[in-house]
Amino acid sequence: MLQSLPEAMGLIFTFEGMMVLTLGTMLGIILGALPGIGSTVAVAMILPFTLTMSQAPAILLLLAIYAGSVYGGSISAILINTPGTPQSAATCFDGYPMAQRGEAGKALGWATIASVIGGLTSAVVLIFAAPQLAAFALNFGPIETFTLILLGLTCIVSVSEGSLIKGLIAGFIGLFLSTVGGDPITGEARFTFGNFQLIAGFNLLAVVIGVFALSEVLTRAAASRDDAAPLVDFNGIVLPKLHEWKGRVKGLVKSVLIGNGIGILPGTGAATAAFISYAEARRSAPTRANFGKGEPDGLIASEAANNAVTGGALVPTMALGIPGDAITAVMLATLTLHGVTPGIRLMTENPVLMAAIFSGFFVINLMLLPLGMLVSRMAAPILRIKEAYMLVMITLLCTVGVYFVRGNPFDLLVMAIAGVIGFILRRQGYPMAPLVIGMVLGPTLEISLRQGLIITDGSFTAFFVGHPIAGVLAVAAVGMLLLPVFRALRPAKAA
């Protein structure tokens, strides 16, 4: 891939490439700062704008939105005590108290530097880890692929906040939805109930936008409004001076490592990384007594970790085609729309595009510093916009996105129904990320399982006897499934 770097740079450092990276990062920061939109909806909303673009700029725009929105969440967390994205929830603990005592600019300065360092290291991890992982997986057959997808699916356990059983139900609903339409081997129609529109199956993006964006509109409409804290005075970012970093570098390094490590694990996500990193900093920092009262170490821990997750989460997505969370699932779906099928063969078949994506991701994270300083001043007044206006914009933009994917009005109906059902299920504690992951991984899981059984003459035990990699992956999958049980037993034992 390194040999393709000069050609990849030629794609990035053009007028179009730099415009895409700059505007995408700026837009990502603004969308991330707006509470209720979040990275997943932000990527889905921008999708229609990429449909006329060529592959590399389109993918770079989506990556810029992703990285920018994760950082942007810290702006509203600090200025109005409402995280723009779930990843920035831990940033509120120390960011808002700092802002309340008149240090909003300083708080955003700490958050910006920590985010940039976290993001840059994650880009390095992506650049080096993804090709290695893809090379290892190059010789995978259907049996290994099946166990790999099975391992990927166990991330449903991790993304099931609240009730594990409800998370599993959502995941299996997603798997079932992926079976609707033509059978991948015989071509016969399944579960179409006479509706010819269903022969092609459900449009993934229509379902994703419905369950995330439209259900969010309904959730916001149902909740009591105007509960955000008032906007504090903010006159621009103030970067911390070099001597102020004394005693904080160790914590920063630890948070970056936590973020990168958790990012590569499927399903754990940036919000979990930020909370784990915050808890670790609170346990080990010499300033732990000040945590929750406006301590920069707390801000650094949260922001360095959540941005460090971004590149890590893209490693299994780009190398194996296995998304770890809802955002990477949407990214995967949008990449497929652009004719890019992330996975084992992409690295060898299109090294220039991969080099452009990886180096572009590094540049995006580098640009977070100047653009963060510039855009945060613009984003602050935007936070005063009425929530109702934002909900109208989300609805209109999401409709455009779904319409342009296939130009089929039936997809719009699917989106609206998914929005209403998503609202009902979310209200009762069913997480939506497992549903999306199930829908994305379902087709590959089915094909690899059936091909594997055809190869082994229907013997499921033969899957693991002559296939050591499959055996290891299956054990890892079982381990991931049992992890919550061990977690639940540990406090009981301690008590």
Alpha-carbon distance 375 to 403, whole Å? 30
Q: What sign does the dihedral 447-450-453-454 (CA atoms) show?
A: negative
Nearest CA-CA partner of 74 in 86, 64, 62: 86
DSSP for 172-183 reads HHHHHHHHSEE-
* Binding status of residue 461 toward other proteins by CB under 8 A: no
Long-range interactions of 44-49: CB distance < 8 A, separation 24+: 44/205, 44/208, 44/209, 44/212, 44/213, 44/330, 44/398, 44/401, 45/213, 45/394, 45/397, 45/398, 45/401, 47/205, 47/334, 47/337, 47/401, 47/404, 47/405, 48/397, 48/400, 48/401, 48/403, 48/404
Interacting residue with other proteins among 388, 475, 483, 488 (CB under 8 A)? 388
Q: What is the DSSP letter of 190?
A: E
Nearest CA-CA partner of 263 in 333, 315, 322: 315
Interacting residue with other proteins among 23, 48, 55, 481 (CB under 8 A)? 48
Of the candidate spans 39-47, 316-324, 362-370, 381-389, the one that interacts with other proteins by CB under 8 A turns out to be 381-389
Interacting residue with other proteins among 188, 196, 242, 283 (CB under 8 A)? 188
* Binding status of residue 197 toward other proteins by CB under 8 A: no
Q: How far is the CB of 203 from other proteins (least distance, A)?
A: 13
Q: Give me the 392-431 binding string for other proteins, x by CB under 8 A, dash otherwise.
A: xx-xxx-xx--xx----x--xx-xxx-xx--xxx-xxx--
Interacting residue with other proteins among 56, 137, 149, 173 (CB under 8 A)? 173
* Binding status of residue 454 toward other proteins by CB under 8 A: yes
* Residues recorded for the chain: 495
Alpha-carbon distance 60 to 58, whole Å? 5
* Binding status of residue 19 toward other proteins by CB under 8 A: no
Interacting residue with other proteins among 19, 135, 138, 165 (CB under 8 A)? 165
Q: How far is the CB of 165 from other proteins (least distance, A)?
A: 5
Tokens coding 11: 């794609």
Residue number, 377 or 450, with CB nearest to other proteins: 450
Q: What is the DSSP letter of 343?
A: S
* Binding status of residue 44 toward other proteins by CB under 8 A: no
Binding interface with other proteins (CB under 8 A): 48-49, 51-52, 163, 165-166, 168-169, 172-173, 175-176, 179, 183, 185-186, 188, 190-191, 214, 217-218, 221-225, 386-389, 391-393, 395-397, 399-400, 403-404, 409, 412-413, 415-417, 419-420, 423-425, 427-429, 445-446, 449-450, 453-454, 458
